[in-house]
Structure 1
Amino acid sequence: MRRLGGLPVLLMLVACERPVDTGVQALPPSVADQGAATVEEQELDWLQMMPADELAALERGEGPEVEHNGSRRMPQFGTFRTVDAVLQRPVRLPGYVVPLASTAEGRLSEFLFVPYYGACIHVPPPPPNQIVHVVLERAIEMPDMYAPFFLAGNLHAERLDDELAGSAYSMRDARLKPYAP
């Protein structure tokens, strides 16, 4: 594998105003929890992956101030704390691919999955508990980094410290699906 060092990843956390109440609810019991034979993916909202106190702090605007001067990327903020209710259950998340590693043939083998595609490297990446680290069992064709996808599989609490960003979640059985609202 080769690392894609220096990739100009453009992530942005939009925090210009106090976020509007999203109405995010806890995940309903999964089909697996009800003892059914088949397990259905449940669409997960990224905000469900943040502990309640961190989400409240973000809503109060307690994140770092965005600075658009200088040439250094702003440091990542937030914690690696995860939410047990979203772990070990079949979910799908809408978001974007940030390549980390590829095969010699240029096929994607490892990536970060993030909630939005950004516009400025001077803005910090999302908090670690808003990023999923994915290692694919079989490499795939490099997807369009500007296109949204659904990431489907089971989330796990697993810390990754990477030069691009840290991640609190991982998915080993991941599948990328075209985004269709």
Structure 2
Amino acid sequence: MVEVKLQVLMFYQDDPKKCTAAKMVKFGLAQNIKKISNKGLVLDPFSDKTLMPKDKSLIRSIVGIDCSWNLADQAFSKKFDGIKRKLPPLLAGNPLNYSKLNKLTTAEALSASLFILGYKEQSLELLDKFKWGHTFYELNQNLLEEYLKLENEDQIDGILKDYGLL
């Protein structure tokens, strides 16, 4: 089975007991890094470009920036190397931000990006490490399947309208 390398750049701004990035590192699912490679896909909620299935050919790794949502604009104001992409809209499955649009944990964001890039098995394995992981998948299963078929960003609004999210 082909897997993509997951990496996290941690800012240590949240409760360490609830930090999904720390848990991924602990279980060997992601690597804690200090510097981002220029072939790394950086998940950036402020990016102008949305992650598309065709981005798979551009990347060697996926990087989650682990920071507090309250400080996200400050964290993402830093200049990161890599290929920056935002995720298409998804609902959080984690207990803290349950069903809020786009308030994902690092684990949810990495799992969603894996799914959209065609690494469905690795995406679901990652979610299995979290008690609420199945909830994220159940809330977003149909959206993720639709996003897996995206050919261009213009299609996203149609999908969101179909699901009553726009």
TM range (shorter): under 0.3
The structure with more helix, counted as a fraction of residues: 2
Which structure has the larger Rg? 1
TM-score, structure 2 length as denominator? Answer: 0.26
The structure with more strand, counted as a fraction of residues: 1
TM-score, structure 1 length as denominator? Answer: 0.25
